[in-house]
Amino acid sequence: MATTYDSAAEDRRAMSRKERKVILASSLGTIFEWYDFYLYGLLAVVITQQFFSGVNETTGFILALAAFAAGFAVRPFGALVFGHLGDLVGRKYTFLVTMGLMGVATFSVGLLPSYAAIGVAAPIMLVFLRLLQGLALGGEYGGAATYVAEHAPEGRRGLFTSFIQTTATLGLFAALLVVIGVRLVVGEEAFADWGWRIPFLVSAALLGVSLWIRMQLAESPVYQKMKEEGKTAKSPIRESFGNWDNLKVVLIALFGAVAGQAVVWYTGQFYALFFLEKVMKVDGATTNILIAIALLMATPFFVIFGWLSDKIGRKPIILAGCLLAALTYFPLFGALSNAANPALYAASQAAPITVHADPADCSVQFDPIGKNRFDSKSCDIAKSFLAKAGISYTNVAGAPGSVATIHVGDMVIPAVDPAGVPAEARADAIKAFQSDVKAALAAAGYPEKADPAAINKPLVVAILFILVLYVTAVYGPIAAMLVELFPTHIRYTSMSLPYHIGNGWFGGFLPTTAFAIVAATGNIYSGLWYPVIVAALTVLVGVVLLPETFRRRIDD
């Protein structure tokens, strides 16, 4: 096990040229990988239109998010495969392989034909490439974090690894800049048609630069020393997870730190983006710009919190970030709604929408295979229209066998009763019903889109900044903590798995899960229960079981 060191003997010297090179090269390569991985998330709305046009709009968006999540689903497997290699053959060459795999997969996404061109084969190939990206990222992060930490002097590990922690946000920021730039140059119509491919294709150039930089690095001195002494692990996976003493630490790291960190990360940076664009109906270019400004303002705090964790510890900063998120997400997203689309927010307060229907007559508004038209029951006809329009509503149980009605303030619009309408007239009846609902929504002040002139941009940026500030608190110190929890000979494998289960599963599935909850309940805020519950659970587990690590040595 790792031992502690005397704080009085901490190395206070200035960062050397070699150490700066290690941080810069490791960070640049990791930025490239995050750039590649998060392009998909930024373009989820466009990708819905390109690859999932064979289903209804709401289902298509959820499926697009599911394909986004597919890359996260396999990250733990990438962690096992490449973590095993990293502990056996070294840190440097393993993350060179992961970078090449990521680059090829990302470039290929830009070449994929759409659903309109080749049908269902298009989303299948897209998901396959997302899986390759997930495998690559599963091996990249643990290698980069371990490599930098093993170069860091005692007492400054939080600071050194915090630069790696900035890479996910900087990769997202770089992707935002490229997407914004292409959108402005080619225009929104051309971007939706073919321009979205350009950010994927330019990744080839970034891959070449990043590989060249990484090739200049030497192996980690801690790993090299261990290898020369013949102390490398014979079977890193078995020693990491077949030994209860180490497996117990893996589980504590997952549930007492990483799971909460993950949901805070993806709520603050991705769910907020999707929420603005899909729910608040803010146009994509404006959403990207507002998110980019908030990221730029908050990114230095990764380093600040990493540095602070060297002074007061990793645990209190990570758990405080999780606790603040759990306590404030609902009011923050309420304020974000009011600032981003004040007309929609005012209408929802003045004329709230309810759907009165027999619960037995209602289906969940999610259709993964695209076969349900939601037109065989009056409740489904009512809810499917509201779900497609992104309108929040409350469910009210109606009498058994009653026809569903939509209440917009004091206005009541009966849904179509399929049993009372001939099959050949059903489509026209549904269109007439939808026209009536649109008229009622317009009369109550519900806008079809957010008015760019009415958006309180400074307030939106301020709220987004707070959300990302939580991200920096939970994410800045996490790499140092994970490195310090595990012994050198199985460190790459042991730290990678809880990190990628947390961020790949708890975090990566957050947008899909949250929007599925919204579709099922009709409440645009109900998806926030997922990150709130997970973050609160992490605080409870972390307070009781998570050890403090910031004074441990890692070269034992």
Give CA 522 to chain center in angstroms: 22
Alpha carbon distance 127, 232 (integer Å): 36
Q: Is residue 554 part of a domain?
A: no
Question: Does residue 229 have a pLDDT over 70?
Answer: no
Alpha carbon distance 444, 446 (integer Å): 6
| 63 touches 79 (CB < 8 A) | no
Q: Is residue 368 part of a domain?
A: yes
pLDDT average, residue stretch 312-333: 97
- Output the CA angle 46-48-49, nearest 5 degrees: 70
Sheet holding 353-357, edge to edge: 394-397, 353-357, 405-408, 411-414
- For residue 268, give every residue at least 6 positions away whose Cβ sits within 8 Å of its Cβ, in sequence order, or none: 325, 464, 467, 468, 470, 471
Q: Is residue 12 part of a domain?
A: no
pLDDT average, residue stretch 206-214: 77
- Please report the pLDDT score of residue 15 as a whole number: 65
Where is the domain boundary, 443, 470, 501? 443
CA distances from 18 to 35, 163, 294 (A): 26, 15, 32
Question: What is the pLDDT of the chain when averaged over all its residues?
Answer: 83
Q: Is residue 217 part of a domain?
A: yes
Judgement on whether residues 308 and 352 belong to the same structural domain of the protein: no
Phi (first) and psi of residue 32, to 5 degrees: -60, -45
Judgement on whether residues 126 and 173 belong to the same structural domain of the protein: yes
Render pLDDT for 297-311 as a digit per residue (tens, 0 to 9): 999 999 999 999 999
Give the pair of three-digit tokens for residue 550: 């910031």
- For residue 104, give every residue at least 6 positions away whose Cβ sits within 8 Å of its Cβ, in sequence order, or none: 132
Render pLDDT for 465-508 as a digit per residue (tens, 0 to 9): 999 999 999 999 998 999 899 887 788 788 888 888 888 788 87
Which amino acid is present at 40? Y
Q: Is residue 11 part of a domain?
A: no
Alpha carbon distance 393, 351 (integer Å): 11
- Please report the pLDDT score of residue 389 as a whole number: 73
pTM: 0.81
3-class SS at 244? helix
Q: Are strands 353-357 and 394-397 parallel, antiparallel or unpaired?
A: parallel
Q: How confident is the model at residue 54 (pLDDT cuts 50, 70, 90)?
A: low
Q: Are strands 353-357 and 405-408 parallel, antiparallel or unpaired?
A: antiparallel
Render pLDDT for 497-527 as a digit per residue (tens, 0 to 9): 888 888 878 887 887 788 778 877 888 899 9
Alpha carbon distance 41, 182 (integer Å): 16
Among the residue ranges 252-256, 260-264, 362-366, the one predicted with the least confidence is 362-366
How many domains does the chain fold into?
2
Question: Does residue 92 have a pLDDT over 70?
Answer: no
Phi (first) and psi of residue 363, to 5 degrees: -105, 160
- Please report the pLDDT score of residue 148 as a whole number: 81
More confident residue, 544 or 118: 544
| 365 touches 374 (CB < 8 A) | yes
3-class SS at 286? helix
3-class SS at 476? coil
| 310 touches 159 (CB < 8 A) | yes
Helices (H), 187-253: 188-190, 197-201, 203-215, 221-228, 236-241, 244-253
Give the pair of three-digit tokens for residue 491: 């460190």
Give the pair of three-digit tokens for residue 31: 């930025």
Residue 233, CA atoms < 13 Å, CB-side half-sphere:
23
Among the residue ranges 11-15, 86-90, 313-317, 411-415, the one predicted with the least confidence is 11-15
Angle between helices 17-42 and 203-215 (to 10 degrees): 160
| 33 touches 26 (CB < 8 A) | no
Judgement on whether residues 86 and 191 belong to the same structural domain of the protein: yes
Alpha carbon distance 393, 402 (integer Å): 19
- Output the CA angle 241-246-248, nearest 5 degrees: 95
| 194 touches 86 (CB < 8 A) | no
Give the pair of three-digit tokens for residue 515: 């929007």
What percentage of the chain carries pLDDT values higher than 70? 87
Helix (H) or strand (E) holding 8: none
Annotate 102-156 with three-state secondary structure.
HHHHHHHHCCCCCHHHHCCHHHHHHHHHHHHHHHHHHHHHHHHHHHHHCCCCCCC
Q: What is the CATH number of the domain that holds 53?
A: 1.20.1250.20
Q: Is residue 553 part of a domain?
A: no
Alpha carbon distance 378, 382 (integer Å): 6
Where is the domain boundary, 443, 459, 478? 443
Give the pair of three-digit tokens for residue 153: 């002097």
Q: Is residue 13 part of a domain?
A: no
Other CB atoms within 10 A of residue 186 CB: 16
More confident residue, 74 or 397: 397
Judgement on whether residues 481 and 515 belong to the same structural domain of the protein: yes
Judgement on whether residues 172 and 284 belong to the same structural domain of the protein: yes
Pick the closest to residue 484 from 554, 547, 556, 555 (CA basis).
554
Alpha carbon distance 516, 43 (integer Å): 19
Judgement on whether residues 337 and 371 belong to the same structural domain of the protein: no
- For residue 311, give every residue at least 6 positions away whose Cβ sits within 8 Å of its Cβ, in sequence order, or none: none
Render pLDDT for 425-467 as a digit per residue (tens, 0 to 9): 888 888 999 999 999 999 999 998 999 999 999 999 999 999 9
- Please report the pLDDT score of residue 232 as a whole number: 65
Judgement on whether residues 496 and 418 belong to the same structural domain of the protein: no
Judgement on whether residues 56 and 155 belong to the same structural domain of the protein: yes
Residue 394: beta bridge partners? 354
The boundaries of the domain holding residue 534 are 18-341+451-545
Judgement on whether residues 459 and 505 belong to the same structural domain of the protein: yes
More confident residue, 139 or 190: 190
- Please report the pLDDT score of residue 6 as a whole number: 47
| 493 touches 236 (CB < 8 A) | yes
3-class SS at 499? helix
- Output the CA angle 248-168-288, nearest 5 degrees: 135
Render pLDDT for 378-423 as a digit per residue (tens, 0 to 9): 888 888 788 777 788 898 998 888 999 999 988 999 998 888 888 7
3-class SS at 507? helix
Q: What is the CATH number of the domain that holds 351?
A: 3.40.30
- Please report the pLDDT score of residue 259 as a whole number: 96
Pick the closest to residue 38 from 454, 524, 536, 511 (CA basis).
511
Q: Is residue 299 part of a domain?
A: yes
Greatest pairwise CA separation for the chain in angstroms: 85
Give the pair of three-digit tokens for residue 199: 């950010």
Q: How confident is the model at residue 7 (pLDDT cuts 50, 70, 90)?
A: very low
- Please report the pLDDT score of residue 218 as a whole number: 67
Residue with tokens 């014979």: 234
pLDDT average, residue stretch 253-275: 92
Pick the closest to residue 62 from 380, 379, 518 (CA basis).
518
Judgement on whether residues 522 and 400 belong to the same structural domain of the protein: no
3-class SS at 13? coil
Judgement on whether residues 175 and 114 belong to the same structural domain of the protein: yes
Where is the domain boundary, 418, 443, 468? 443
Judgement on whether residues 280 and 401 belong to the same structural domain of the protein: no
Phi (first) and psi of residue 351, to 5 degrees: -135, 70
